[in-house]
C-alpha cells in the first residue's frame, strides 16, 4: 500500500527536478575564474636570467610559461661509440638548466650537466660547495663510448646570486673553460 502512495509522489517530483535543473543561472556562476597573475616575486627577471646566461657562457635561453631554459652545448666533444660510430653534438650533448621562481622570490633550478668522466668530480664538488644544490644522480649517457660521457642531474635554489655562483663554478670545470688559465687573486 505504501508503494502505491509513494509512486505518484515520485512522478510529481520528477518534473520539478527537471525544471529546476533547466532553470537559468546567474552569469556569475557561468563566468570563468578570474586569471590569477603571478606576484612580482614569482616572475622571472630578465636581468637575472641574462646575468646567469653570461656567467655560464651560454646563448640566450627560452622561456615557456614560468620556466626559463638555458642550454650549454658541448661542442668541444668528439664522441665515438662502438655501435654508432661518430655521434654529433646535436644528439643531446648539452648541459641544460631549467629555472623558475617561487612566491618567496627565490630561484630554483632543475638541470643536468653533460660531462666527461674526468670532469665529473669537479662539477659535483662545485655544485655542492655552497649547499644550494643537491646532486640527484650521476649516470652514463651512452654505452661503449669514447670519451666516457656522464649526466649529472641536480636540483637546488636560493637567491639568484648564489645560484649563479654555483652554476658558473660548475660550468668552469667542463669543456674548453676547464683548460683556460684562471688569474691569481691576490689579497683575498
Q: Among candidates 43, 102, 44, which has minimal Cα distance to 70?
A: 44
Task: Please enumerate in sequence order all residues whose Cβ is within 8 A of that of 173, keeping only pairs 6 or more positions apart, or say none.
Answer: 115, 119, 122, 123, 126
Q: Is 95 helix (H, G, I), strand (E, B) or coil?
A: strand
Which residue shows C-alpha cell 649517457?
Answer: 141
Determine what percent of the chain is predicted with pLDDT higher than 70.
74
Global pTM reads 0.73
Position 34 scores a pLDDT of: 39
pLDDT at 85 over 80: yes
pLDDT at 22 over 70: no
Position 18 scores a pLDDT of: 47
In whole angstroms, give the CA distance from residue 24 to residue 13.
19
pLDDT at 73 over 90: yes
In whole angstroms, give the CA distance from residue 152 to residue 115.
8
The average confidence (pLDDT) of the chain is 82
The model's confidence at residue 27, banded by pLDDT at 50, 70 and 90, is very low
Position 178 scores a pLDDT of: 76
Position 188 scores a pLDDT of: 57
pLDDT digits 0-9 by tens, 123-162: 999 999 988 899 999 999 999 999 999 999 999 999 999 9
Strand order in the sheet with 145-146: 85-87, 79-81, 145-146
Which residue shows C-alpha cell 655560464?
Answer: 56
DSSP conformation letters of 15-82: HHHHHHHHS---HHHHSPPPPPPPPGGGSPPHHHHHHHHHHHTPPP-EEETTEEEEEEE-TT--EEET
Task: Please enumerate in sequence order all residues whose Cβ is within 8 A of that of 167, keeping only pairs 6 or more positions apart, or say none.
Answer: 52, 55, 56, 97, 109
In whole angstroms, give the CA distance from residue 29 to residue 33.
10
CA 105 to chain centre: 16
Mean pLDDT on 24-35: 46
Position 16 scores a pLDDT of: 47
Amino acid at each position: 500500500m505504501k508503494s502505491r502512495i509513494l509512486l505518484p509522489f515520485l512522478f510529481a517530483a520528477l518534473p520539478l527536478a527537471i525544471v529546476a535543473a533547466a532553470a537559468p543561472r546567474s552569469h556569475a556562476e557561468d563566468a570563468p575564474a578570474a586569471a590569477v597573475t603571478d606576484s612580482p616575486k614569482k616572475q622571472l627577471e630578465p636581468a637575472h636570467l641574462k646575468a646567469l646566461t653570461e656567467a655560464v657562457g651560454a646563448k640566450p635561453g627560452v622561456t615557456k610559461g614560468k620556466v626559463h631554459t638555458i642550454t650549454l652545448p658541448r661542442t668541444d666533444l668528439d664522441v665515438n661509440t662502438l655501435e654508432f660510430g661518430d655521434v654529433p653534438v646535436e644528439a643531446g650533448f648539452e648541459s641544460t638548466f631549467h629555472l623558475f621562481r617561487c612566491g618567496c622570490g627565490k630561484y630554483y633550478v632543475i638541470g643536468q650537466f653533460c660531462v666527461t668522466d674526468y670532469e665529473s668530480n669537479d662539477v659535483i664538488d662545485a655544485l655542492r660547495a655552497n649547499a644550494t644544490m643537491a646532486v640527484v644522480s650521476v649516470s652514463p649517457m651512452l654505452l661503449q663510448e669514447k670519451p666516457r660521457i656522464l649526466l649529472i642531474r641536480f636540483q637546488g635554489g636560493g637567491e639568484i646570486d648564489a645560484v649563479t655562483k654555483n652554476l658558473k663554478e660548475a660550468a668552469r670545470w667542463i669543456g674548453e673553460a676547464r683548460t683556460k688559465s684562471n688569474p691569481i687573486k691576490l689579497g683575498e
